[in-house]
Amino acid sequence: LDLELDLRRALERNQFEAYYQPIVRLRDTRLVGFEALVRWNHPDRGLISPAEFIPLAEDSGLIVPIGRWMLDTACAQMRRWQLAFPRRPALTVSVNLSARQLTHPDLLPEIRRTLRESGLSPRHLKLEITESAAMEDGDRAIELMAALKRTRLKLMLDDFGTGYSSLSYLHRLPIDTLKVDRSFIRHVHDRAADRSFVETILNLAHKLGREVVCEGVELPAQEALLRGLGAEFAQGFLYSRPVTAAQAEMLIIDDR
């Protein structure tokens, strides 16, 4: 369709922009890093949400060059911030990987190249892989994730709770962090069943030695409850919406 043709040209026309959403440590709500989220600034249609064009990019294979651009952009940006803010050396950036990218033969060499060219240390890069992408090609996905781990970067399991991964599969995945999907956070403060569900995920994650990011935190009541349950990190509109790099930089400066 037209949109796919436009998408094909969007990279060379510089129409993508990286937005950044803060991730905070719940203990003291200090900034620990950002999730990088792509935006498409379409000349006629304005800003198009990735929810609209990522599926198209995946079907057409365009997700591979778009993903490469995102990885380059996010790593270079985080390296610039580390140089500009030497008192914040631990900040990390997370980049989303779709199933199509995970199984692409060039993924590992591309990531090594990006790290080398940007000068970013791998421990400051996190890759977000959805539960469904991790399960799509079971054993192969585990092998790829293990290879990624050998480059010393961190892996996060995204949208956790929305897929159907078994406990034994979860146990085998070489991930560092679980991101609890925001659908479970929405009523964590006012529905006992949702609180029990999140509590169980937290117990499970911690027994397996994984840390947890709670997505979609919008209310102080949700934050207080999650802190009480021992969740390490949170992300959501309570802290900030996804913002431009310039606005994200102000958030780093304001974080004391």
- By CB under 6 A, name the binding residues for ligand G: 21, 37-38, 49-51, 54, 63, 67, 70, 96, 98, 158-159, 182, 215-218, 235-237, 242
The verdict on 158 binding Mn ion (CB under 5 A) reads yes
CB of 1 to ligand G, least distance (A): 19
Q: Does 158 bind Na ion (CB under 5 A)?
A: yes
Tell me how many degrees the CA angle 190-20-52 measures, rounded to the nearest 5.
80
Under rule CB under 5 A, residue 6 binds Mn ion: no
* Amino acid letter, residue 139: D
125 binds, among Mn ion, ligand G, Na ion, none (CB under 5 to 8 A by kind): none
CB 208 within 8 A of CB 170: yes
Q: Is 21 in the site for Na ion (CB under 5 A)?
A: no
Size of the site for Mn ion (CB under 5 A): 2
Nearer to ligand G, 49 or 203 (CB): 49
The token pair at 163 is: 């897929």
Q: Quick check: 66 and 16 in contact, CB under 8 A?
A: yes
**Pairwise CA distance, residues 149 & 104, whole Å:** 16
According to CB under 5 A, which residues from 89 to 108 bind Na ion?
96
Shortest Å, Cβ 236 to ligand G: 3
Quick one: which of 123, 66, 125, 73 has its CA closest to 100?
66
The reply to whether 232 sits near Mn ion by the rule CB under 5 A is: no
Are the CB atoms for 26 and 234 separated by under 8 Å? Answer: yes
Q: Based on the shown chain and the rule CB under 5 A, indicate whether residue 128 belongs to the binding site for Na ion.
A: yes
Q: Is 86 helix (H, G, I), strand (E, B) or coil?
A: coil
